[in-house]
Chain A
Amino acid sequence: EAQVTQNPRYLITVTGKKLTVTCSQNMNHEYMSWYRQDPGLGLRQIYYSMNVEVTDKGDVPEGYKVSRKEKRNFPLILESPSPNQTSLYFCASSPRTGALNTEAFFGQGTRLTVV
């Protein structure tokens, strides 16, 4: 089954403790992206990647890191989480860069709470 898998689904952590949220897709997609969603603010893009070893900042990259060492995986790293990073996070992938005229597939979301 074609899917984007995020782990964990729920995470409660303490301020300053490094964490990684994993994202994996099984569709051989070139494009992957991370978003956070907060009430009233919609989906805000954190980072995106057009292909392996190619990443770029989105609208709200501060406090986050990503890597794209292989096509299927795009982990989101919070080196020193803070309470303002408490949010619902989504990973997405899409088949093509450039003319991205096909749909994006989203993961099931990761609800992160930083205390």
Chain B
Amino acid sequence: SQKIEQNSEALNIQEGKTATLTCNYTNYSPAYLQWYRQDPGRGPVFLLLIRENEKEKRKERLKVTFDTTLKQSLFHITASQPADSATYLCALEDYGQNFVFGPGTRLSVLP
């Protein structure tokens, strides 16, 4: 069956460090993968999209990698700040051309 997993339900890191979140998928062959940020009680907000032919994508302090052989995407936040504390979701398109989300990782950046 198709499945999306994100490395851990919760991740705590110290301010200034790099946070690394993992998204693994099975039985998908996505042409691209997306990352979203969700704050409590609010809808997810799009952050980055990476295509299957791109190894890496950057946006300010964010970096995403995509390894279609490993079926994995890594999401990095460098120089993390308490304001980066949120839940981060990965998303991709399934075989029915539907949009599916991973369960999310709740990141807490401690001052």
Contact = CB atoms under 8 A, between A and B. Distances in A.
Contacts of A102: 49
A99 B94 CA distance: 10
Contacts of B32: 101
A31 B104 CA distance: 22
Interface string B80-111: 00000000010101001111111110000000
A56 B41 contact: no
A106 B41 contact: no
Interface in A48-63: 48, 50, 56, 58
Contacts of A114: none
A108 B98 contact: no
Interface stretch (A66-74, A76-84, A89-97): A89-97
B96 to A, nearest CB: 7
Nearest to B4: A42
Contacts, number: 64
A109 B41 contact: yes
B46 A45 contact: no
A104 B102 contact: no
A92 to B, nearest CB: 7
B93 A109 contact: no
B44 interface: yes
Nearest to A98: B97
A56 B93 contact: no
A27 interface: no
A95 B39 CA distance: 23
A12 interface: no
A100 B33 CA distance: 10
Nearest to A96: B97
Given A42-B104, A43-B89, A99-B31, A104 B99 contact: yes
Interface of B: 9, 31-32, 34, 36, 41-46, 49, 51, 89, 91, 93, 96-104
